[in-house]
Structure 1
Amino acid sequence: MIRCFCTASVLFFAATLNAQERAFVDGTGPGWVTLDEDDFVRVNGDDNTMTWNEGECLCSGTPIGGTRTAKKYKNFEMVIQWSHQKEAGNSGVFAWVPDKALENLPPNKLPTGGIEIQMLDHGYTDQFEKRSGKKADWFSTNGDIFAVGSSKMKPFPPLSPNGSRSFPSKNLSKGFGQWNHYYIRGINGEVRLWVNGEEVSGGNQCEPAEGYLCLEHEGSPIKFRNIRIRELP
């Protein structure tokens, strides 16, 4: 017979470990600041692309493009909550976007550089496969990270089939209509993502490793709230 003894100290340790694994960085404390409407600059949207109300931003998704921060960032921590308002929604945050990737960007064009931290609703997989007739194996809906255009990044495994994306190690994203929590940390050309409390993806050797942060609008309505950032040395 095998006997199992479970002491109070063991239970406490297990609970503590689980809490650490699912710890949420809420963006409060020294150095953290809230980003609101005045902290963002229109790139190729219109008056209705981003509308703000008491700290919550409703993005219409159109025209396709990006809205950048007023200032550039190098080393930073960022928290942001997001909720797709329609099934199969597509959006994300771009980090370290250079000036040239945004210059004269016409409506319905995405930034041509930066590191994308994707926010993709689970319904996008079925939609893609129905429209294209192809298997949706080159992306996930749980927090991919990848370089865009002229930018570079060495993605952390697990990788997409062509090796260009860091696929999430766990599937933690919630579906449309629910709020998701992203904690993003970018330091010295390395970016890491925590989805709803757990680290899932990332990459290093990013070039450039300084630039704007952009909220992506890609054809579907999404809400953002509690956008907070802390600059690091």
Structure 2
Amino acid sequence: MRVIPLRVLSLGLLAGLTIVAWAPGVPPAFGDDLIPAATIDGEGPGWRALGPEDFEDVNLGADAWTWKDGLGHCRGTPVGVIRTRKQVTNFELVAQWRHLAPGGNSGIFVWAPAKALEGLKPGHLPPGGIEVQVLDNGYTEQFEKQTGKKADWFTTHGDVFPVGTSKMNPFPPLSPDGSRSFPRERRSLGVGRWNHYYVRAVNGEIRLWVNGKEVSGGDRCEPASGFLCLESEGSPVEFKGLRIRELP
């Protein structure tokens, strides 16, 4: 195996790629081994870190999130969100996340409209925005055990879907009801392990890379400008390496 560092600029959007190349005849590994992929690291011109000074509480209370040395810890209760202090339109986002309990649930809201956040009561999530799902792999088993229903309407590997009043034309493969873009590969690592998300949102189109490979997304998003939100939904979760680059 060879690790080849590259710096790539494509239409001014992509920078800082690390390509993992595998020797001929050696199959790529997944799970406990290195994931073969190109990872955008959020370094280069225009990128900046996101930290506690960039977010404000919406409906959680001051102690739901704590920050130390670039790591944001969310205790998971109550249910709700924090949001960026400013709205964004076209951007790239890098985020690493890990769940600290089996079956953890969280998410990143993109382009959440101001109206969806105004007066949002504790225990509720915004009724608007495009959600980039952040689920632990154990959520599927827990859902089926608790409900007795088949978990065929979601995955734990990077679903992207519109929430509430927001709209999106999802890229295939689709959920059974056609509302979600399902990931093309199973890329997420389990509880306690760091996962890497790269989100590119440009001109109403959103695309998600999970651990280095593009898996899901959609276009014709409405609205295509708004706040970024980090979600608290019942289980402790941590984020680190949050970096953003705003685009024209």
The structure with the largest helix share of the pair is: 1
In 2: Cα distance, 1:127 partner to 1:110 partner:
21
Runs of 4+ in 1 over 6 A off after TM superposition: none
Q: Does 1:100 align with 2:144?
A: no
In 2: Cα distance, 1:182 partner to 1:130 partner:
28
Q: Deviations over 1:145-185 (max 9, x none)?
A: 00000000000000000000000000000001000000000
Q: Deviations over 1:67-96 (max 9, x none)?
A: 000111000000000000000000010000
Give me the TM-score of the superposition, normalised by structure 1. 0.91
Question: How many residue pairs end up in the alignment?
Answer: 219
Q: Secondary structure at the match of 2:243?
A: strand
Amino acid at match of 1:69: T
Q: 1:118 aligns with which of 133, 150, 169?
A: 133
Q: Deviations over 1:118-162 (max 9, x none)?
A: 000111111111111100000000000000000000000000000
Partner in structure 2 of residue 62 of structure 1: 77
Partner in structure 2 of residue 45 of structure 1: 60
Partner in structure 2 of residue 7 of structure 1: none
Q: Does 1:141 align with 2:150?
A: no
- Superposed, 1:1-233 pairs within 5 Å as 15=22, 22-233=37-248
Q: Secondary structure at the match of 1:125?
A: helix
Partner in structure 2 of residue 3 of structure 1: none
Higher RCO (C-alpha under 8 Å, 6+ residues apart): 1
Q: Deviations over 1:16-36 (max 9, x none)?
A: 9x9xx7110000000001000
Amino acid at match of 2:173: P
Give me the TM-score of the superposition, normalised by structure 2. 0.86
In 1: Cα distance, 2:22 partner to 2:65 partner:
41
In 2: Cα distance, 1:61 partner to 1:209 partner:
28
In 1: Cα distance, 2:22 partner to 2:219 partner:
32
Flag the structure with larger Rg: 1
Amino acid at match of 2:189: K
Q: Secondary structure at the match of 1:135?
A: coil
Task: Let me know the Cα RMSD of the aligned residues.
Answer: 1.6
In the alignment, structure 2 segments of 5+ residues that lack a partner are 1-20, 29-35
In 1: Cα distance, 2:75 partner to 2:238 partner:
9
Amino acid at match of 1:201: S
In 2: Cα distance, 1:15 partner to 1:226 partner:
26
In 2: Cα distance, 1:105 partner to 1:96 partner:
16
In 2: Cα distance, 1:111 partner to 1:101 partner:
5
Residue 15 of structure 1, CA deviation = 4.9
Amino acid at match of 2:135: L
Partner in structure 1 of residue 18 of structure 2: none
Residue 47 of structure 1, CA deviation = 2.2
